[in-house]
Amino acid sequence: MEARVQLSKHMFAFAETMSLRCAVELGLPDKIYEHGPLTLAELATKLPIESVNMDRFEQTMRYLVHINLFTPTTNHHEETKYELTPMSRLLLSKIHNNKSLATFVMGATDPEELFVSGRLVESLGGSKSCWELQHGVTLSEKMMNDNKWSKVSDALNANTLNMIDAVVDGIKRESIIDQSVTTLVDVGGNTGIAAKAILNAFPHLKCTVMDLLDVVENVPKDPQLTLVAGDFLSSIPNGDVLLLKSILHGYDDDVSVTILNNCKKAMHPTRGRLIVVEMVLDMETMQEFSHARLGLAMQMMLIGGKERTKKGWERVIHMAGFTRYKIVPIAAAESIIGLGVGCQMRKSRRGRRFEVRKSRGYNRGLKSLKFEKARSALEESLRRVEDIVPQAIVLVIVNELERTIFTLDPLEKQVGDDVIALLQQDRNFNDGGNNNELEIFHQAASRLGITSS
């Protein structure tokens, strides 16, 4: 029975997408917000439809209540009225909610994009995406030819507005941007919403927003931003900090490596850093977004893009020649992937691996055993506190360890030499020899301050 229930749920999952889009397209959240709780008949009079089929409308509202988009209440006249829920408030238009996700929902549920899913089986057998198989061109080519960019731009801006605060918090928490950097380039930054949010947090920065000419020409002039027309597949303006937000998931690995290489060329050689904001499919944090992450991964695959796991990101990062990076979870479906200066921490099977380079004078013999143990203890301690101590502090410790040269105390060195010389003696031990051996160990213990009670 349970299996049948699950199967039925998946078979009819399209109903959620379909009814959600219908609610936004009809502006139902705005109608209820503007006029208060409404009965079905009252709500029908507000619709942009000349003659409403009340039977179908009632069924639609029943499903929207089922998915918690609206909630029904009954007054003393026993009339059922519909009220907003926290989810439907996210779908109020920009007039009522400047962080509205209505345009993002309309973009994500575009029938033209969803229709290509019928070519999924065919796409598994070749190099072309479902979109390209259906339309004969890539999504970006079709958007430019059909002048659909304005709608896509609105959808991207809506998503940016809802996640950028979390991005800025992550940047602050990890000290990815500090006073040592002075310039920021928002690569493929659309209208510059992300750049302006970062500028508000770090007002000492000079911000540049780069995007295609057709995009830049339609961006309102802002004295805080320098707008640059260009193609990140060719070249990118130089900067201390580069931002790539929701860009790489639109491309396969080869193209993503090209973009990352162009970023690397544009980064300052000594203080440059790259902030990538993308989903990490197997991120342990924000598990409530796991279903959405996997769903978007399927949709991006249909249109020629690619969401990635940690290993997938690591592969692309290494292919682009970056050796230092860290993945920073934030309060959103996305994560920050920091590359470059200050991004030494990596993930290993046991968690983060803190790379501590051994100095040239560091011996790997018996005398250095205590140093190996000390390093291991330090690394283990760092792993234990990394979730409660700001990573900026951890990085300071790691940097100090990297510069530290370990040497033996002369007294301890002499003790070690005496003990080793004794152990290397090739002789038959008699009572006298045993006493001599014990005497040497006793002297070694005295020099080290070891006593017994």
Write down the domain spans for the chain: 2-91, 144-343, 351-403, 410-448
Confidence (pLDDT) at 218: 86
Percent of the chain topping pLDDT 70:
73
CA distance 23 to 63: 11
- CATH class of the domain comprising 2-91: mainly alpha
Convert the pLDDT of each residue in 177-197 to its tens digit.
999 999 999 999 999 999 999
The Cα–Cα gap between 441 and 166 comes to 60
Mean pLDDT of 196-207: 96
Is pLDDT of 452 > 60?
no
Active-site position among 10, 66, 96, 249: 249
Among 360, 356, 389, smallest CA distance to 372 is for 356
Span of 105-114, 363-372, 381-390 with lowest mean pLDDT: 363-372
For the chain, the maximum distance between any two Cα atoms, rounded to a whole number of angstroms, is 113
In contact, 253 and 306? CB cutoff 8 Å: yes
pLDDT at 30: 96
Give Cα 447 distance to the centre of its chain: 54
pLDDT of residue 183: 97
Per-residue pLDDT tens over the stretch 326-354: 999 999 999 999 998 656 544 433 333 33
Report the pLDDT averaged over residues 155-165: 90
The pLDDT of residue 77 = 75
Q: What is the pLDDT of residues 418-448, one digit of tens each?
A: 666 665 654 444 444 555 666 666 666 665 5
Q: What is the separation of C-alpha 207 from the centre of its chain, rounded to a whole number of angstroms?
A: 22
**413-443 exposure pattern, b = at least 16 Cβ within 10 A, e = fewer:** eebbeebeeeeeeeeeeeeeeeeeeeeeeee
Across all residues in the chain, what is the average pLDDT?
82
pLDDT of residue 350: 35
Return the CATH fold of 144-343.
Answer: Rossmann fold (3.40.50)
Q: If pLDDT is split at 50, 70 and 90, which confidence band does 288 have? A: confident
Is there a contact between 271 and 181 (Cβ–Cβ < 8 Å)? yes
Based on the residue annotation, tell me whether 318 is a catalytic residue of this protein: no
Say what the pTM is: 0.71
pLDDT: which is higher, 358 or 208: 208
